[in-house]
Amino acid sequence: MMMTGDEHFLEETIIEILSKLPVKSLLRFRCICKSWCALFNKHNFISKHLNNDHNTRLIVHYMEKFDGPDESSYPLFLCSLFPDETLTNLSLQDLDNPVRGELVGPYNGIFCIFGNNNRITLWNRATKESRVLPKCTTVFPKYTSIFCKCTGFGLDPMSTDYKLVLIFTLWNEKLDLLYEFSHVAVYSLSTNSWRYCDCFKSNHYYMDGAFDSVYLDGVCYWLSEFRDNDHKVILSFHLGNEVFEEIQEPYIPESTPTILGIYNHSLCLLLSHNIENYYDIWVMKYKCWIKQLSLGPLNGVRTPLGFWKKGAFFVHSTNEQLLLYDPNTQEMRDLGRKSFHFSVHIYRESLIRVKRGRKFSV
């Protein structure tokens, strides 16, 4: 039976209201009726819900030392979620990860967790759904070891498929030198499989920070440097055409690029000056670098960690605290966590499924 105009309007209104509710509420509502359960799995509703969620939150990933029975200490990976985007409520929620390990992402609410024994897990924190990826069964030449590994994760806008890229820089133990090309593996969520290619001349670069990639608009970025002159460079990998490119950094004498990040939906770079505790924020606009802010001196800072909102960024202090610096007020705020290692992850909830290989148009 066809719906009347009033019934159609009522249904659209209900869908609009539901699309603005937290994921936790929607998961409870699945048992109300079959039509709602089916609605929450539809791509259009998942996209609508994601676009309506403007609540950006912070997940802090850190390590604590765990004393073993033989008086040895092991790092214990922990995750905490700030309850709201003001970061003023320090009653953090400790998260129960499906796997302990390093985090990459998130993108659209999905994390990659790199655990022990090269186990990789996709994790949607909001739905508590996780998926262990098939083994990346790379076969390396004889007398070869992994010199370093870099990772990137995001959405391929051409195929609307989520992809994870692993870049293995290889060392020839017999000749005592780097191989000319890296081994690149790309995982596709839609096919739940890996593809491999040797398409990147890795011996030109030193890629530091295995899990420190930045994703923006279909491209993964890494802070790197040339091996022959130690000059910094940004490497990018387009998830659509799977091509690497170089991006030159702003050349500022006596300064060092420290972190890549996102500033007002643009790629940005934090430069630290050789004069202690002074920094500049540069933003990429129309393929050109523009200096946005100059900061300092910021005393007691060990290392910057990442960007928040309106130019604010997180720092790891010399006394192992997690701090937030606001350049507008010049306030340094303690966020109530201490650790010898931090990573910060900007997070939005989503209903996106990771247990089935599908393409998502979001």
Give domain limits for the chain.
5-52
What global pTM score does this model have?
0.86
- CA nearest 181: which of 193, 169, 172, 165? 169
Give which of 179, 176, 177 is closest to 168, Cα–Cα: 179
In whole angstroms, what separates CA 11 from the centre of its chain? Answer: 36
Cβ 331 vs Cβ 298: under 8 Å: no
What pLDDT score does 71 carry? 47
With a CB cutoff of 8 Å and minimum separation 6, the contacts of 292 are 263, 268, 281, 282, 283, 311
User: Would you give the DSSP letter of residue 181?
Assistant: S
Distance separating alpha carbons of residues 238 and 181, to the nearest angstrom: 18
Return the amino acid letter for 179: Y
**If you average pLDDT over each of 76-80, 225-229, 307-311, which comes out highest?**
307-311
Residue 137 clears pLDDT 50, i.e. is over it: yes
pLDDT higher at 296 or 42? 42
pLDDT in tens, 43-99: 899 999 999 887 888 888 887 765 555 544 555 677 888 877 878 777 677 777 666
Structure tokens at 220: 């993964």
Q: What's the burial of 2, exposed, middle or buried (CB within 10 Å: 0-12/13-18/19+)?
A: exposed
**Residue-by-residue DSSP string for 109-149:** TEEEEE-GGG-EEEEETTTTEEEEPPP----PPTTEEEEEE
* Burial (0-12, 13-18, 19+ Cβ within 10 Å), 141: exposed
